Copies of this chain bind each other. A is one copy, B any other.
Amino acid sequence: MARKPELMPGTLDMLILRTLARAPLHGYGIALSIKRLSDDVLTVEEGSLYPALQRLLVQGWVKAEWKKTETNRRARYYSLTVAGRKQLGLELSQFEQMIAAIGRVLQDADA
């Protein structure tokens, strides 16, 4: 993270799954959604996004379908599978647990 962490490593898959849980979206739309919801704090680079989507496809957590966008452009729409929704729940709970643990370490009180 020394230079410019646009993301917290390890959270991208969870963020994508959470975004797709709202509605199916194409890759570019996922990146925009995350950027906007985070008030520009989180930026998903293409070199992170597409490999991540490939991972999620391979693991069966999302499925993809080529469609036309509202503006008549070809795009690949991703949506959550049942397994993906389950995985999202798992990642969310692990994330919460880890954040809570980090919070305890960052506290002032000594052991």
Contacts and interface: CB of A to CB of B under 8 A. Distances in A.
Interface of A: 1, 5, 8-11, 13-15, 18-19, 22, 33-34, 36-39, 41-42, 92, 94, 97-102, 104-107, 110-111
Given A37-B105, A92-B106, 6 more contacts: A1-B13, A5-B10, A8-B9, A8-B102, A14-B106, A19-B105
A11 B101 CA distance: 12
- Report copies per complex: 2
Contacts of A14: 106
Contacts of A94: 5
Q: Which of A22, A106, A111 has the most CB of B within 10 A?
A: A106
10 cross-chain pairs, A with B, having the tightest CB-CB distances, nearest first = A41-B101, A38-B101, A1-B10, A9-B9, A37-B105, A42-B101, A36-B111, A9-B10, A37-B104, A38-B105
Contacts of A11: 102
Nearest to A7: B98
